[in-house]
Amino acid sequence: MERKVIIIAGPTCSGKTKVAIDLAKKLNTEIVSADSRQVYKSVNIGTAKPSLEELEKIRHHFIDYIDPSEDFNVSRFETESIAIFLRLLKAGKIPVVAGGTGLYIKALTDGIFNTVDSDEEYRSLLKGKMIKYGKDFLYDELEKLDPVSASKMLPQNWKRVMRALEVLHLTGKPIWEFQETYRREIDFEFHQYGLLWERQMLYNNIEKRVDRMINSGLVDEIKYLLEQGYSKEINALNTVGYKEIIDYLENNISLERAVELIKRNTRRYAKRQMTWFRKNNKIKWMQINSEEELITVSDLILKDIKFI
């Protein structure tokens, strides 16, 4: 049985959803969302989820999947995605993956090491240190003990930093050694494509999307979530668009300043996404110069895979 899987990657506002839906329609298949924020229910406008109409036309996985208070990690994403792939492939369908969370896509293509047990007591100790001294303290510890793993992470991604420290504590070996030797038994033939825009055009897309989000009721959405008792500290709200509006609602900044910051921070996020994806030399980049050109991308991909 052929095990083809198509992946559509790229930065935020590059048109991944549109291309994935076009492909899924032509292949009569389903979409796996590789987006670490769209997985949460009620966190809609700021994560740019597909519209209700789009979700009705094509089945999407990992959208509106869990409550905002729940945790969802890359290991769970990998495991559950593989089960979806196998079901679709058995039915003669080619899975389509679309998203901008680079770690999720890497988990699918390369596998994620997940064999070392957790140590809750040690994790509590690390969390206590982080609360007392800050995220940089944990990162500095990892740099001293495992500089190779530290070089692959950012201080603000404290969960990954904590996991690396935990693995070192439990095994005496750095996490990168396990990651390099880990191999998944089930494998697939991945066809990876990236949507590449000229930088200023992408930034224009970002500005327009942020304005649409505000006009569509982003502020009211966040008010509602906070009124439901969700803490501003949860992962679902610890993201661009939500953090800035929460600052506005707490009277720390004006709405105008919040919008400026969302645009700026989204541009920075897009830049980080591209830095991650450019490390993946298996991605074939599709140059996009206009919204109209997105219409042709799905056919170009199918032609490249020799489906048409």
Integer Cα distance of 171 and 73 in angstroms? 22
| Residue 73 within a domain | yes
256 exposure class (CB count in 10 Å sphere: 0-12, 13-18, 19+): exposed
Per residue in 265-298, pLDDT (tens digit) is 999 999 999 999 999 999 999 999 998 999 999 9
Distance CA 139, CA 250 (A): 30
79 found inside a domain: yes
Model-level pTM? 0.82
Whether 70 and 101 share a structural domain:
yes
Can you give the residue range of the structural domain that contains 155?
120-181
The percent of residues above 70 in pLDDT, for the chain, comes to 96
Q: What is the pLDDT of residue 116?
A: 65
DSSP sequence for 260-296: HHHHHHHHHHHHHHHHHHHT-TTPEEEEE-STTTHHH
Please indicate, yes or no, whether residues 155 and 289 belong to a single structural domain of this protein: no
pLDDT in tens, 61-96: 999 999 999 988 888 899 899 999 999 999 999 999
Asked, for residue 240, whether it belongs to a domain, the answer is no
One domain, residues 96 and 25: yes
Is 126 in the same domain as 158? yes
Q: In the listed set 137, 162, 181, which residue is the last one of a domain according to the structure?
A: 181
88 with 191, same domain?
A: yes
pLDDT of residue 208: 97
- Give per-residue pLDDT as tens, 155-214: 878 888 999 998 888 888 888 887 777 667 778 999 999 999 999 999 999 999 999 999
Q: Which phi and psi angles does 118 have, rounded to 5°?
A: -90, 160
Domain membership flag for residue 46: yes
Number of domains in the chain: 2
> What is residue 114's predicted lDDT score, i.e. its pLDDT?
58
Average pLDDT, the chain: 92
- Residues 58 and 127 placed together within one structural domain of the fold: no
pLDDT of residue 83: 96
Q: State how far the Cα of 199 lies from the Cα of 196, in Å rounded to an integer.
A: 9
Do 14 and 98 reside in the same domain of the chain?
A: yes
> Taking 70 as the threshold, does the pLDDT of residue 98 lie above it?
yes
Do residues 201 and 89 both lie within one domain?
yes
Same domain, 174 and 196: no
CATH of residue 288: 3.40.50.300
Same domain, 131 and 97: no
Measure the CA–CA gap between 164 and 137, rounded to whole angstroms.
14
Q: Which residue in this structure is represented by tokens 């109409």?
A: 53
Other residues' Cβ atoms within 10 Å of the Cβ of residue 8: 31
- Judge whether 198 lies within some domain: yes
Pick from 221, 209, 222, 217: nearest CA to 267: 209
Residues 124 and 194 in one domain: no
Does residue 58 belong to any structural domain of this protein?
A: yes
Tokens 């519209």, residue?
Answer: 51
Is residue 15 one of the residues assigned to a domain? yes
Say whether both 65 and 199 belong to one domain.
Answer: yes
In a domain, 140, yes or no: yes
Task: CATH number of the domain at 156, please.
Answer: 1.10.20.140
